Amino acid sequence: MGDRNLEDSVTTLAWGGDNLKLIDQRKLPFEEVFVECRTALEAASAIKDMVVRGAPAIGVTAAYGVALAAIEYRGSDKKGLLEHLANSIKLLSGTRPTAVNLFWALKKMDKLIKDSKDLKPGQIRDKIISEAKKIEIEDIKINKMIGQNGLKVFLKLKKEKFSILTHCNAGALATAGYGTALGVIRKLNEENLVKKVLVDETRPYLQGARLTSWELQKEKINFFVITDNMPAYFMSKGEVDAVVVGADRIAANGDTANKIGTLGLSILAKKFGIPFFVAAPVSTIDFDTKTGESIEIEIRSEDEIRKVMGRQIVPDYMDVINPAFDVSKASNITAIITEKGPLYPPYIKSIRKVKDGGRR
C-alpha cells in the first residue's frame, strides 16, 4: 500500500512505488529508523537479518521482494524477466524456514507469474506489484477479523477484565498492521476488557521486551514485561486469565510452531487450567504438513545466545545452541482464532473444514 503513512502509530512496512521501507526491528525500541530495500536481494537480506520478522510480515515482505525483482530487471525480453523472477523467488524462499507465510506468499506470486506468462513484461510487472499490495492490505483486514473473533472467544470466558500473557511479538510489527495475538489484545482493549498484559521478554531476541512492549506503550495498554522464567509464578498466583500467542506454522492436526518458549507456556497453561489461544490467519495453516513433528525448526546464530544487546555474556569457548521455534501440541491449545472464526478441537476436523471452505 504505497500511500501508507510513516507517521501511523506502528508502521511495519511501506511500499514506495519502487522501494520498500521497513522499520528496523533490530533497533527498536531505542531507535525508530527505516531500512529501504530497492532489490529482491535487499528484501531477502532484510528477512534473513531480522530487520523484519514475524510470519505474516515476512510473507508480505517476500511478496514485495518479488515486486522489486520485477522492477529491477533492466532487460526488455520476457524470457529474461521470467528467469529473474524465478531466481528471486528461490532467493527469497531460502531466507527463513519455519514461517509458512513466506512460502504461502511466494507460491501465490509464482502462480500469478505463471498465469500471466502470455502478457507483456510491463503488464506482468504491474500485476505482480498489485498482487503484493493486495497481500498487504488483506493482511491488515484479516488481522482485524481475527481481533473481532478473539473478542467473541474471550467474551465466552465471562470475566469483567482479563490479565493476558503473550509471548514474542505477534503485533503490528509482525504483520502488515494490527497484529494477530496483539490484534486480539488491541480489540479487547478497545472494549475496555484488558486489565493488564504480561509480556514475556522472549530470549534470546527479546521480541517481547523490545517490540511488544513498544507497541503496547504506543497503544496505552497496561502491561508489564516479565522474564521467560516467570510465567509459572504468575499463573500459580491466579494472575493469568488467558494466554494468547501467534503462530509461524500450524500443522493439519493443530500442532503449532511458534517462538521458542511457547511450548512451555502451553504445557503450563494446561496444568493451571488457563485457556491457551493461538491467533493466526488461515495462511499460517500448512495443510500439507500432517503433524508438528515435520515442521522444520530454524536454528539461528549462536551469537544471539552469547550476547545480549551486543554485550557478551557467554564466552566464545562455551557451547550454545539456538533453536528459534518450538511446537505446541494441539491437545494443549484451547482454540485457534482465525479470520474465519475460532477453530476448536478436534483440529483435524475443524482445520479440514477450513481447507474445504466450509463451516467449522
Identify which of residues 101 and 350 has a Cβ nearer to ligand MRU in the complex: 101
* Binding of ligand MRU by 246 (CB under 6 A): yes
Q: Which of the residues are catalytic?
A: 248
Site for ligand MRU in 250-279 (CB under 6 A): 258-259
Binding characters for ligand MRU, 200-229, by CB under 6 A (x = yes): -------x----------------------
Q: At its nearest, how many Å lie between ligand MRU and the CB of residue 184?
A: 11
Site for ligand MRU in 79-118 (CB under 6 A): 99
Q: Find the part of the chain contacting ligand MRU (CB under 6 A) among 49-57, 153-161, 266-274, 308-316.
A: 49-57
* Binding of ligand MRU by 62 (CB under 6 A): no
* Binding of ligand MRU by 12 (CB under 6 A): no
* Binding of ligand MRU by 53 (CB under 6 A): yes
Q: At its nearest, how many Å lie between ligand MRU and the CB of residue 296?
A: 14
* Binding of ligand MRU by 46 (CB under 6 A): no
Q: Find the part of the chain contacting ligand MRU (CB under 6 A) among 51-59, 186-194, 235-243, 333-341.
A: 51-59
Per residue, the 3-state secondary structure of the chain, as one string, reads CCCCCCCCCCCCEEECCCCEEEECCCCCCCCCCEEEECCHHHHHHHHHCCCCCCHHHHHHHHHHHHHHHHHHCCCCCHHHHHHHHHHHHHHHHCCCCCCHHHHHHHHHHHHHHHHCCCCCHHHHHHHHHHHHHHHHHHHHHHHHHHHHHHHHHHHCCCCCCEEEEECCCCCHHHCCCCCCHHHHHHHHHHCCCEEEEEEECCCCCCHHHHHHHHHHHHHCCCEEEECCCCHHHHHHCCCCCEEEECCCEEECCCCEEEECCHHHHHHHHHHHCCCEEEECCHHHEECCCCCHHHCCCCECCCHHHHEECCEECCCCCCCCCCECEEEECHHHCCEEEECCEEECCCHHHHHHHHHCCCCC
Among 11, 88, 180, 328, binds ligand MRU (CB under 6 A): 180
Q: Find the part of the chain contacting ligand MRU (CB under 6 A) among 12-20, 152-160, 172-180, 344-352.
A: 172-180
> Which chain residues interact with ligand MRU by CB under 6 A?
53-56, 99, 168, 170, 174-175, 180, 207, 246-248, 258-259, 324
